[in-house]
Every structure is written in C-alpha cells, then in structure tokens.
A and B are shown apart, each in its own frame.
Chain A
C-alpha cells in the first residue's frame, strides 16, 4: 500500500512593533538583560489590565490581506487558559472563534494553492532558562522581557504533499513578512517559529487520520525539512507494520537528524476559551480594510509574475531571482539595457556563474555574462539567421532604408531571439552589410 503525508503548518511571527501587545514596554527583547523590559501588565501583577496595540492589529490584518484572507469585520480577543510558569496571568490573550483574518491562500510556483485557515493575533510568553547557581543548585529562571510581545499565528490547511512544497511556502511567507516590514522573521532569533502537523494516510483513503504529530521548536528551514521527512518515514513504517503512530508532540535532534517524543497527548487540551472581558470587541469599517489593502507593498508573487510575463523567465528562475532584492534589481536593469537576452542573464544569475562576488552594477553583470558566455560572432552561424530575419521582416527593412535607424535594433532583437548568444555588434555589422548590399 502506498502512503501519503497529511501536512500542515502553524507559523508564529513576532511583530517588530515598538511596544508590546498590551502594554508600553519595548517589544524588541532579543539580547536584553533579563526582566528589564517589564511592567505590571506583562508581569501579570494584580489589577493590571491589557490595552491592545492598534499598530500590531493593523499589521496582523495586513499580513492576512497579503495572504488573500477575508477579514472578520467583527472580531475579539479571547482568553486561552493554561498553567505554565512563563505565562504570568495563567492565560494567554489570543483569538478563538473570530480571528482577525480567515480563509486565505498562497499559490506555489507550481500553481498549487495552499489554503490559509486563519491569521490571528496573540501575545508571546516569557522564557524559561534552566541554570545552575551558586553551589550547583539547579534552578529554572523566568525572563519576562518576551512576555506580551505581539505574535501573529498563521495556520494552514493540511494541503502540503511534500517538503519541497513546505519549504517554498515557508520561504515565501518569510519574504512576505519581510516586504511588509512587520517582522525580521528571523528564525534563529525566534521571531519566526515553525510547528508542523504531520500524519500519514493510505493513498486511497480520504479524510484526516485519527492521530496527529506536532513537531515543535525547530529553528531553521533546513532542519524542519529534515524533521518532516524523517517523520513521514517514521510514521509510514509504523503504519506498514500494522500499528498506528501515537498522537504526540515531538522535537528534533539536529545532530542525530531524528525527531524524538516530547509529550504525548492522550486527549485534546481544554483551554477553556472565553471572550477576554478586559478588551472590548472590534468592529472594522470596510473602508479601513480597503485602505490597508491599498497600502500593501509589491508582494513576492507580483515580482515573480512580472519576471515571468515581462522577461519570459521560467517559474523557478523567477522565484530565485525575486527572492533576493539586489539580484532582482540588477537583473531588471541589465535586461532593460537589452544587450543580453533576459533569459541568458537569468541563467547566469541563477547558476551563480558570477562566482564568489556578486556583480555591483548592471554593466558589470553584462560584462561578466559576455566574458563568460562564448559570444556567438562567427559569420557562418550568424549569417543564415540574419538573412532569414531580413527576408521575414520587409517592413523593418523598408523602414531602415527610409532612414529610421532604430529599426536596426528590432532586427538585432529578432536575431537574438533565435540565437540568444549572438554578439550584438557582430550581428549589427552583418545586418548593415546585408542591407547595404555589401554581402552577397
């Protein structure tokens, strides 16, 4: 029997707002000395009340809009009740049945659509540090600098078929967050955190399996890919042996390249969600949402489409070139100069033919491409094509003969569409010779 993975993601993104989600403390907590950025609200002191950060809410909704979500015009916060020492109030302020955004999607370069279930807003927890103090006493310390930092959670449907798709999706999501400038989305610093939900089912069976394995706390794209691949294999083997994998949370051991069990979940957690009474619900005007929509920057997919439609790049080359802003800019400027075919430029860049140093300018790129590619200037190769193009374009020829010098450019272009490596000056010379009757 063949087994296929059922694979979905929950991605947490810490927003780079100035202040925390519900108080005025700075949200930038990375590398700050412990418990220096706290106040009654994020410490959960008696009597403290949360006041929502409207910038964070705007950013959460903008991310939702960039992910093609529908915005809930009526929304609210809820309390998610659970006990953990890094959660000072005994509950996390999150969103339950009315997230800010729902039902979006993101299209992969293959054209496959990954559905986004929801994009909601919540607060981050403190951080536990296990340490040994003084005379070797083992203690757990809590740093509340991170407590209350705005956190957006993006939840996908289990639409992924393989890790190629998950990798592309996650990188795309990271890019979207970065162009929106709402977070550094830095995995090492924990400002983007991934949780994969994996199960495996027989190919001929539809619906979700009865168990689900969560992989948590993996902080790089490379490792999450390895972890998911390992997990698919592990679960498939269990199923093949006739057993069923247990519902659990697993971590990833980077040196062994294996997942390991962290916590078994016998039943679903009961978080006793209820509407957060300290924060009035939200009503958004349609015009406000439209305004935010109109403020969205050019998204990666739009850049990709531009490269594909205007410059004729393949989906995969467009993806790679658009992933890097510098590469994209240099590519477009070099392509606009027109000396070298866009596809040639793209291949050169994608295959890293520039070596270790990335070209500084479009002209440098063109120079590099020229010297790297053995430019086609041999008459024996060029001439047949030149003759053919001249024969096929009598209007351009007439126009040139009537004095319109720029028509020569069109003819050169036509030749180079057939022979991308054709040397422009050699081609021009041949065309001119041909038209002035110098050539036989």
Chain B
C-alpha cells in the first residue's frame, strides 16, 4: 500500500492521512520518489520545493488539503520559489509574493512539491515552446502532453503529485488534461483570482485544477473560488456545491459543429458513446448547433495577441529578469502580431471587429443555453500529437484548441474528462456550461465518472 501512495487522489489521500494510515511525509516522499524516477524522462517539473518534506512534517491534516502534495504551473507566483513561466527571461526570477491561488492552497494546508513546465508565457498547446525543453506525454513519450499546462497534466498522470494547478486562456487546462487522460477544469472567467498569475491574455485567463477525478476538481475549485480584493475581475459569490443528483433532469446538447470533418471517426464514436452514457444516466441528450468554431479562432488570435503584446511589455529586464533578447520565437511572433493589430488604423479593423464577433459568440452560447443546460463535445480534434508537431506551425495551438476556444472567449465554464482511447492515447470529453454553471458541469462529470472508469486508467511508466 504505502509504496503506491502517489497513486491516490485527493479524497483517498485525505482519508488516509486523517485515518492515520500514513503520514504526510510518507505521501510526499512517495511523490518525490516518483518525480526522481520519472522527471528526467517526462520533464514535468522545472523547479522543486526543497522544503516539501519539512512542510509535510508540520502539516495540519485537519485542514481541507492538509498534507496533500501538489504541483503548480510555473506562471503562478510562489514567494521565494523560482517562477519562470518557462521563459529564460525570468530564468533567475524569485517572486516577492504569493499569487492568491498559492496563498489559498497554502492556507488550506497543501504541500507544494514544485513548479511545472509549460509553454513559455503559456503561448502554446504543446509545451514545446518551453525554453526548458518539452514535457513528454506519460502515455507515450514520443507524444506531446498538450499545453500550455502540459507539465501539470503530465505530473498528475505520472502520479508525481496528487493534483496540480494550471491556467487556461483557451484550452490550456482542458486540452492537456484530455491528452494526458486526466480531469481538467476551467471555471467561469473571474471565478478564481488571477492575482499573481503571470498574465497571458487578461480577458480570458482562468486558473483551475488538474486532477485525477471530477470530485477532486470540485474540491479544489470550491477552495479557490471567490471574490479577491486584489483582482477587480473576480466575481462575487462562491461556488460551493455540486448540483444534487435528485435535482432537475439535465438536458445535454451534442454540438454537431464540434464533430469536425477532419476528426477521426474513432474520436466521434467515443463522443457519441459518452452521450449514450449520459442518456442511460437519465439525462436527455439532443444534437444542437453552435456557431462554427473557426470564427472563435480568428477572434481569439486577435484578442489574445493584442493583450499579450501589452502584457509582456513589463519584461524589459530593467527591474528584474533578463533582457528582451531572451524572448523565444513564439513570444516574439505574438508580440509582433499583437502590436500590429492594435496599431492605429488597424485597431478598428482587427481588435474592434474581434470584440464584435466575440459578442456574437457569447450570444450564440446564450441561445444554446436556452435550449439545453450543458453542451458536450470532444475537447481536442484528436489524441496527443507526436513530439515536434508544433514546430514551424505558428497556428498549432489555435488548431488544436479549436474546440475549447469558443467557450474560453465567452468566459464559460467547462471540464474535460477522459472518455476512451484512440491509438493507445487518451481522448477527452468536454462538458461546457454557461457562466456560473459550475454546479451542473460538476454534476454531469461526477455522474459520468461514476458510470465509466476511463479516468482510472494509468500508464505504465518506463
């Protein structure tokens, strides 16, 4: 038993700690061993917290996450612990303060094992743009883990931690969760504070959990959610509960436009199968129509590049960090495109127009949510792509995130849960809810995971 402590999810680990079956030190040690054994092959962690074991010894296991070892994406500021956002520009950056998410996790008793790899500045969906080398997929190290929270997703699936924190601007939690075969949750925009998260696209950045189960994702979300006096875009009211099972009968819509023509038949089949599971669970399922997701790619590209060009301006190497020559290819490309789309004469043509289309996408979702409670579809067009797939493809992220970008730019909530395998690699089912629809998103994810065991599958690491 004790040799497999790193396999446990949050619920089981907490129960074990509180029941005195093992100590936090044993649990943390088990994860650290796993990191020691496999991180050189997978490259999920960039920086480790050297005090993790001491902190485990002092852990108060009665706290909500007391003594639970976890990992944090490297764009969340951790006081005293190097934070690079996987860019050499911040190679030597030691933060002066904790992000709100980290502060809440520490207060809840979690033990931070270290910081996970990501696409540099979160620009990408592969982790291949990391200045510290790509993370590799635990299911097959010849494949990518997805991104930008690829390090967090791989760390959870390789059982290097009990859960991890990621951030999503458009798919950066859900897509790597899908490719690594874990649960990834994106809250409503503003549900979880962005304070202390290195900004990518401020109007869509959403922190969220990457976990082994939907219950765990709900536990973490309820601990992190809420109005933050340091983030003016956080929304009041806390998400607390999951919609009760005996509540109203949920109506699920299958977005037919999200079953893309270029998608493998096996992927479409798995989505239809998942819809069948929900039907058998007593939900109603119908096909619905949403706006072609390709429009979202255009909108997202312009809004995101524009915000990036402004958000990265502070990294001038004057006060902290290294100078601008350390920016990688992808960051430079995005800064240039964003600078262009905001330039006088082009602002109306690009940025303003993108905002108008964004409003139309929001209205399209509003229409859909009058028809159904939730929308489901594939998280990604296919399983994890091979290492190297993103190279020389500036729009790689956008094409891989085509199915998660619409809900991101509309600020919606959504979850990706494993729903099967294609070519030995996991496929993710995404469940999208309206803004503030966390309770029903979790309800469906929980019921789905009570009926299937895709989320319990774990790769054999070599």
A71–B320 Cα distance when bound, in Å, is 40
Does chain B have a CB within 8 A of A83?
A: yes
Task: Answer whether A277 and B202 are a contact pair too, CB < 8 Å, given A46-B83, A89-B314.
Answer: yes
Residues of A within 8 A of B306 (CB): 274
Nearest residue, chain B, Cβ from A267:
B344
Residues of A within 8 A of B75 (CB): 47
- Whether A49 pairs with B230 at a CB distance below 8 angstroms is yes
A273–B345 Cα distance when bound, in Å, is 12
Does chain B have a CB within 8 A of A416?
A: no
A50–B194 Cα distance when bound, in Å, is 11
Chain A interfacial positions (CB closer than 8 Å to B) = 40, 43-52, 79, 81, 83, 85, 88-91, 142, 268, 270, 272-274, 277-280
- Whether A49 pairs with B77 at a CB distance below 8 angstroms is no
Residues of B within 8 A of A277 (CB): 201-203, 233, 307
- Whether A272 pairs with B233 at a CB distance below 8 angstroms is no
A197–B54 Cα distance when bound, in Å, is 64
25 contacts between A and B (CB under 8 A): A40-B96, A44-B319, A45-B320, A46-B77, A46-B83, A46-B90, A46-B95, A46-B199, A46-B315, A47-B77, A47-B196, A48-B195, A51-B232, A79-B310, A81-B309, A83-B316, A85-B318, A88-B314, A88-B319, A89-B313, A270-B344, A272-B310, A272-B343, A273-B347, A277-B203
Chain B's interface: helix, strand, loop or mixed, by majority?
A: loop
Q: What distance in Å separates the Cβ of B44 from its nearest Cβ neighbour in chain A?
A: 22
Interface size on B, residues (CB 8 A): 43
A236–B306 Cα distance when bound, in Å, is 44
Residue from the set B85, B196, B232, B342 with the largest chain A CB neighbour count within 10 Å: B232
Residues of A within 8 A of B201 (CB): 277
Task: Answer whether A40 and B97 are a contact pair too, CB < 8 Å, given A48-B195, A279-B232, A280-B232.
Answer: yes
Does chain A have a CB within 8 A of B144?
A: no
A158–B229 Cα distance when bound, in Å, is 42
* Extra inter-chain contacts (20) besides given A40-B196, A91-B313, A272-B342, CB under 8 Å: A44-B314, A46-B314, A47-B75, A47-B199, A48-B196, A49-B194, A49-B230, A50-B232, A52-B232, A83-B313, A83-B316, A85-B318, A88-B314, A90-B313, A272-B309, A272-B339, A274-B306, A277-B307, A278-B233, A279-B232
Nearest residue, chain A, Cβ from B97:
A40
Does chain A have a CB within 8 A of B396?
A: no
Residue from the set A51, A88, A273 with the largest chain B CB neighbour count within 10 Å: A51
A145–B146 Cα distance when bound, in Å, is 43
- Whether B313 pairs with A278 at a CB distance below 8 angstroms is no
Does chain A have a CB within 8 A of B197?
A: yes
Does chain A have a CB within 8 A of B198?
A: yes
Residues of A within 8 A of B318 (CB): 85, 142
Does chain A have a CB within 8 A of B137?
A: no
- Whether B319 pairs with A274 at a CB distance below 8 angstroms is no
Chain B interfacial positions (CB closer than 8 Å to A) = 75-77, 83, 85, 90, 93, 95-97, 99, 194-199, 201-203, 229-233, 306-307, 309-310, 312-316, 318-320, 339, 342-344, 347, 351
A44–B317 Cα distance when bound, in Å, is 12
- Whether A90 pairs with B314 at a CB distance below 8 angstroms is yes
Q: Which of B231, B316, B342 contacts A81 (CB 8 A)?
A: B342
Query: Considering the complex of A and B, which 4 residue pairs feature the smallest CB-CB distances, nearest first?
Result: A90-B313, A272-B342, A277-B203, A277-B202
A278–B189 Cα distance when bound, in Å, is 12
- Whether B93 pairs with A43 at a CB distance below 8 angstroms is no
- Whether A47 pairs with B313 at a CB distance below 8 angstroms is no
Residues of B within 8 A of A272 (CB): 309-310, 339, 342-344, 347
Residue from the set A50, A83, A273, A274 with the largest chain B CB neighbour count within 10 Å: A274
Nearest residue, chain A, Cβ from B196:
A47
Residues of A within 8 A of B339 (CB): 272
- Whether A274 pairs with B198 at a CB distance below 8 angstroms is no
Residues of B within 8 A of A142 (CB): 318-319
- Whether A47 pairs with B198 at a CB distance below 8 angstroms is yes
Nearest residue, chain A, Cβ from B318:
A85
A43–B347 Cα distance when bound, in Å, is 28
- Whether B314 pairs with A51 at a CB distance below 8 angstroms is no
Task: Answer whether A278 and B320 are a contact pair too, CB < 8 Å, given A46-B83, A272-B342.
Answer: no
Nearest residue, chain B, Cβ from A41:
B230
A395–B314 Cα distance when bound, in Å, is 83
A52–B344 Cα distance when bound, in Å, is 27
A89–B229 Cα distance when bound, in Å, is 20
Residue from the set A48, A52, A272 with the largest chain B CB neighbour count within 10 Å: A272
